[in-house]
Structure 1
Amino acid sequence: MITVQTMSHVSLLLAFAVTLSLLVGGVTPVSASGGSASDHAAADLGGDGVYAQADDDASASFPGNVTVTRGDEVTIAVSHSDPANVTIGSDDNGFEVTVSVGGSGTTEVVLDTRRTTAADPGEFIEGGSATLHSEPLEEPMQPADYLMRVEIDGVEYDIGTLTVEPRGEYAAESNRAPGAFTPAEYVGGGEEGDANVGPLTGTMTAGSTVARGDYAVVRFEESGLETALNTTDLTGSAAANGLKVNFTQTDPGPNTEPREYVATDTANVTVLPNLEDDAFYVLWNTSGVELENIDARNRYRAALSLTDESGFVGADTTLATTTFDLRRQSVSLSPADDATVYPWDNDTYVVEGRTNRAPNTELEVRLRSADPDAFLLISDTTVREDGSFEATVDLGEASRGTNATLWVREHFAETRQEVRLVAPDPSVEFQNQTANGTTVEVTRAELPEGGFVRLVDDGGEVVGRSDYLEPGRHTAMTAELGTPLFETQRLRAELVYAAADGSYNPGAPAYTPNGGAVVNDSAVVDFPPEPTETPAATETTATATATATRTPTATPYPVATRTPLPPSGATQSTLPLSPAVAVVALLAAAALFARRGESS
């Protein structure tokens, strides 16, 4: 009894001494995060009821708080000098798991919030040995703040917060891509399992009307589905983690089941994940879709849904939808009628058209002739965003004077046209006319390579020409004479080439097709009569005045004029009268005297 009493007193004295030393010395256990012993009693108190002693050289910490969307994975980095225990959650929020990490350094603990319904924490924890302290969850971790703690040898060195946020809004966008695109080439080409979506985003364009044979592309904006997405199975089953993507006919008509195309259930659908940007793309190859004659029955709804297999919902839930209208392919050329290409037209023949094919679709325009000088000309073009396209066919090597067939490959019936390639045919038409003496009119001229109309008279002299004429056909041209012409005469109009700089060269060769005769035409031209010399003025009275001399207009030659004689009795002249004039004067005087005598 004495012994027992002595031991009891000793125990009481020891407890009292320890308590007193703590109170007097002010020694309070503190965690690395600055909390007091009362805040972390459960963590620092040993199994025998005595507080664990911290190693002065030990350390552990989190870089900061962590946020994750419900359903996604989160990486929690922890630095530790010795093996440590990382605890996530607590009894307060119904979820608590401890992860033991060995060694020292920085360890990344990965937590998959979607799989936290598993009884084995190893299914949702990576990076260490996990122990689940709470009961398995019936649903993935709910949105909340979860406490994180890190301990070494039972001493807590840091705490932090893991915030699980609710899943965000989902969205679906309609796009289209050319049927020649090959999505299989880009699966898995990105980082961390993502696809290489760059080529797709570079070729697809926004739009909900899709020509049959092109791709209907849906861009889904996801939230909290990055670990649930199984690109090989989106049927909504357990293997698909409850995710379903399908394309369903919206209006199949009365008494008819709608057509449905489930992603990954058909080889015509490909999934390209881009989870780094919280998105994934679903490409539907529409080449195998049967089209109805009624447009309304060719509308399909693309939907992303969650089934009860996802663990997030108790019944099928649609997260996002968009629609597509499928149409038969159409291509047209402009103008729709057959065309004629003249020799003076550019050697590059431009073809324009429109189509409902997806922008960036490559089309091939062909021009073919099976005449003796057969040819096949091919020009590639790309559909613009507005559905238009333009191709240039080089006619430099094509034979002229023939007809060729023009069409767009794979669209022969709707684009076939005949193109008439006109051979060079220089000609001139010069009609009989009445001219003003300085210009004449040439009725028509065709100069495949441009040039001049030259005028030549019957003597072979060049008497005029036109201004420079561009390659092509011309009508009602004026040719100016080098010198005025008079009276009726025949002129010849000839076609001649221009100098290299387009100027007139008197020595330039004439048009002589196939080395034959000069291209020409002749006409009779009535010019005004040649003006005559105007006679000098005559005396009308003894005091006659000079008569004005009329000077013709547009006369190339000077007109000679003479000064009138002065009046009778003038002193300006001393020229003697001739004998004949004297005799006449005497006879006139005798007759005058005789008349006067008779009258007297």
Structure 2
Amino acid sequence: MTDTDAEAEASLTVQKKGDSQAVFTDKILQQNRGDIAEITVQLENTDKAMVYVGTSDVNYMASVPVLDDDEDGEVTIEMNTFLAGGHTGATAEDVFSVAGDDTLQSSKVPNRTTSDLDNPLEAGDYDLSVEAGGVETDVGTLTLTERSTDSAKSWVAPDSASLSDVESITDAVSDKSTVATQDQVVLQFSATGIFGYINDSTDFNMANNATNYGVYVTLDEENPGPNAQARSLNVSNASTVVDADNKTFYLVMDQDDFAKLEDGTEWNATLTVDGDQNPYVDADETEDVSTTFKVADRDVEFDNVNQDDVLEVTKDSESSVTGTTNVAAGTELTIRLRASGDNPFLKSQTVEVADDGTFSATFDTSDLSVDTEFEATVRDSTGSYEPVDAMIVEGQQTTTKTTTTTTTTTTTTEEPTTTTTESTTEQTTTPTETTDSGGQAGFGVALALIAVIGAALLALRREN
């Protein structure tokens, strides 16, 4: 008999969906006042959550509804801590945005439930909480700290480099205090508490002091000369690249736009945060950091130039032509060896300038005769340099220096032994042969001779 009741019960069993969950990836967050705070929430069994920032106890509270549009289980809220308090007239919709492909919920908008403040949010702790399905599922803390104005540095990049983002800048720049004319100058400034109100389109000209809340950059001549007034450059022509994650921004100066950057000039670049305009610095005070750089004409010099100013190039299948230059590392140089007349030839190699300012090109000159005369030239993106007279010379012979070490051994030899054999018919005396490398010369031979004479006299006496 079949148990139909059991079958009916089994067919009605339904798998219950898990509870909606939303938790903070980092429960303790820290950011500088005036910068962008990132609040990341992980979602499970839901694509929606409501995040709350602050409480009535600190006179700031806002709600942010988020939607995991790309369904990766994670949403990152970007909070502009400079605008958050409402002192500029900004709304919560101006303050909060969502990173990547995620969005705010279409049916709801961020909302600040507290009144506008007269100043930006103060330093301190702000509670975080998150709800999923109308139930609080996690809590955290956002700590805002005081800002700072930290450092300045100048870099150099090749004239032809495209410097449009942080990666292209860091890949191209080199650390030099002197920049060659027509190369690009990159000014790097590090500070905190400014990235809520500056971006890639910010003009840091001092004339925009009020618009930029007292943050500006000046570029002044350091060495104007006797009785001359120092010149200044307008940084409006510089391109701005912001790296908020690393609390840094760059000003890229293409010298085509800065005609005053001439050979022999020295310049001071200063980032200023003016307290009369900036809410994070006390009134009547300023914070500033500076960097300096020099400008020199582009220059290239070959190695192996003799006293007659002729470049000597060895006859070899792999002949190296080397030199030094003051242009930016990474600059491409085309080295050309060219001769005309009865035996014309043209050899060309393109190389990059190394970090230490050197360059090296390899040519096959084995088909050229010694004493062949030609010209060596260098060209880069800005044009050609003055040609240099050159000549093929014999390849250098590799000389192996051999050091011979002589070891003297001193041997001490005992005095020779004389053996006398008696015979009725014949007397034979056999001296022992010795090699003496020490003592007085000939002494051993004399002793042997005396022994022979003594033996002869003894034999004669017996005969008598």
Aligning the two structures, in what range does the TM-score lie when normalised by the shorter sequence? 0.5 to 0.7
Match of 1:140 among 109, 113, 120: 120
C-alpha distance in structure 2 between counterparts of 1:371 and 1:59, whole Å: 84
Counterpart in 1 of 2:140?
160
Aligned with 1:123: secondary structure? helix
1:286-319: per-residue Cα shift (whole Å, max 9, x none)? 35443567x4xx1111222335555434468344
Which of 296, 302, 313 is residue 327 of structure 1 equivalent to?
296
- Please, which of 53, 57, 73 is the counterpart of residue 36 of structure 2? 73
1:96 aligns with one of 55, 60, 76: 60
Matched, 1:224 2:172: no
Change (3 A) 1:161 1:384: closer
- Unpaired runs of at least 5, structure 2: 1-18, 98-103, 399-464
Structure 2 counterpart of 1:124, one-letter code = V
Tell whether the 8 Å contact from 1:300 to 1:324 is kept in structure 2 after alignment. Answer: yes
Computing the radius of gyration from Cα coordinates, the structure with the larger value is: 1
**Kept in 2: contact 1:229–1:241 (CA 8 A):** no
Aligned to 1:20: none
Alpha-carbon deviation of 1:209?
Answer: 1.4
Bigger shift: residues 394-403 or 345-354: 394-403
Q: Secondary structure at the match of 2:316?
A: coil
1:279-428 matches, within 5 Å, as 279-287=248-256, 288-290=258-260, 295=264, 298-307=265-274, 310-313=278-281, 314=283, 317-336=286-305, 337-339=309-311, 345-398=315-368, 402-409=372-379, 410=383, 412-413=385-386, 416-419=388-391, 421=392
> What are the Cα deviations for residues 455-514 of structure 1, in whole angstroms up to 9, with x where unaligned?
xxxxxxxxxxxxxxx999xxxxxxxxxxxxxxxxxxxxxxxxxxxxxxxxxxxxxxxxxx
Residue 232 (structure 1) shift: 2.2
How far off is 1:110 after superposition?
Answer: 3.7
Once the two structures are TM-superposed, the CA of residue 231 in structure 1 deviates from its matched residue by 1.7
Deviation, 1:84, is: 7.8
Of 135-144 and 401-410, more deviation after overlay is shown by 401-410
* Residue pairs, 1:105-120, within 5 angstroms: 109-116=77-84, 117-119=87-89, 120=91
SS in 2 for 1:380: strand
Contact 1:176 1:216 (C-alpha < 8 Å) held by counterparts: yes
Distance (Å, rounded) in 2 between the aligned partners of 1:214 and 1:175 = 10
Q: Work out whether 1:173 is the aligned partner of 2:153.
A: yes
Determine the C-alpha separation between the residues in 2 that align with 1:230 and 1:282: 12
CA distance change for structure 1 residues 83 and 370 in 2, over 3 Å: closer, same or farther? closer
Relative contact order, higher structure (CA 8 A, sep 6+): 2
The aligned amino acid for 1:277 is N
Measured after TM superposition, the shift of residue 196 of structure 1 is 4.8
Structure 2 letter corresponding to 1:369: A
1-side partners of 2:355 and 2:219: how far apart? 25
1:122 to 54, 79, 93: 93
Residue 170 of structure 1 contacts residue 222 of structure 1 at CA under 8 Å; is this kept in 2? yes
Q: Deviations over 1:403-444 (max 9, x none)?
A: 21223234543x52242x48xxxxxxxxxxxxxxxxxxxxxx
TM-score (norm 1): 0.50
CA distance in 1, matches of 2:245, 2:94: 23
Structure 1 residue 147, shift from structure 2 partner: 2.8
**Which 10-residue stretch deviates more, 308-317 or 131-140?**
308-317
How many correspondences in the alignment? Answer: 349
Q: Is the 8 A contact 2:329 2:356 kept in 1?
A: yes
- Give the Cα–Cα distance (whole angstroms) in 1 for the partners of residues 110 and 313 of structure 2: 81
- In structure 2, distance between residues paired with 1:387 and 1:361: 10
Determine the C-alpha separation between the residues in 1 that align with 2:202 and 2:67: 40
CA RMSD of aligned residues (A): 4.0
Q: Which residue of 2 aligns with 1:215?
A: 184
The separation in 2 between residues aligned to 1:259 and 1:149, in whole angstroms, is 55
Paired residue secondary structure (1:395): coil
- The alpha-carbon deviation at position 112 of structure 1 amounts to 1.0
Q: What's the CA shift for 1:321?
A: 1.8
SS at 2:245 equivalent: helix
CA deviation vs aligned residue, 1:72-95 (integer Å, no higher than 9, x gap): 2223356698998654334443x3
In structure 1, give the amino acid aligned to 2:203: L
Q: Per-residue displacement from partner, 1:134-155 (whole Å, max 9, x unpaired)?
A: 4322332121112335579998
Alignment match of 1:249 (pick from 202, 210, 221): 221
Q: 1:411 to 1:353 in 2, by over 3 A?
A: farther
Structure 2 counterpart of 1:244, one-letter code: Y
Distance 1:180 1:103 in 2: 44
Contact 2:81 2:196 in 1 (8 A): no
In the TM superposition, residue 132 of structure 1 has moved relative to its aligned partner by 3.4
- Note the C-alpha offset of 1:247: 2.6
Note if contact 2:240-2:252 (Cα within 8 Å) is conserved in structure 1: yes
CA gap 1:367/1:130 in 2 versus in 1, 3 angstroms: closer
Question: Are 1:408 and 1:416, in contact at CA under 8 Å, matched by a contact in 2?
Answer: no
- Correspondences of 1:260-275 after superposition (within 5 Å): 260-263=232-235, 265-266=236-237, 269-275=238-244
Alpha-carbon deviations, 1:508-557, whole Å to 9, x = none?
Answer: xxxxxxxxxxxxxxxxxxxxxxxxxxxxxxxxxxxxxxxxxxxxxxxxxx
Matches of 2:92 and 2:352, distance apart in 1: 55
Look up the equivalent residue of 1:136 and give its one-letter code. Answer: D
Q: Matches of 1:400 and 1:152 in 2, distance apart?
A: 85
CA distance in 2 between counterparts of 1:471 and 1:321 reads 53
Contact 1:334 1:353 in 2 (8 A): yes
Unaligned runs of 5+ in 1: 1-56, 188-194, 423-447, 450-469, 473-600
Give the 3 Å change call, closer, same or farther, for CA 106–270 of structure 1 in structure 2: closer
**What SS is found at the alignment partner of 1:135?**
coil
Report sequence identity in percent. Answer: 26
The Cα of 1:216 is off from its aligned counterpart by 2.0
- TM-superposition CA deviations, 1:42-89 (whole Å, max 9, x none): xxxxxxxxxxxxxxx898765523322211222335669899865433
Secondary structure (helix, strand or coil) at the match of 1:172 reads strand
- Cα distance change, pair 377–301 in 1 and its aligned pair in 2 (3 A): same
Q: CA deviation at 1:260?
A: 2.8
Residues 558-582 of structure 1: CA deviation (Å, up to 9, x unaligned): xxxxxxxxxxxxxxxxxxxxxxxxx
In the alignment, the residues of structure 2 paired with residue 393 and residue 103 of structure 1 have an alpha-carbon distance, to the nearest angstrom, of 63
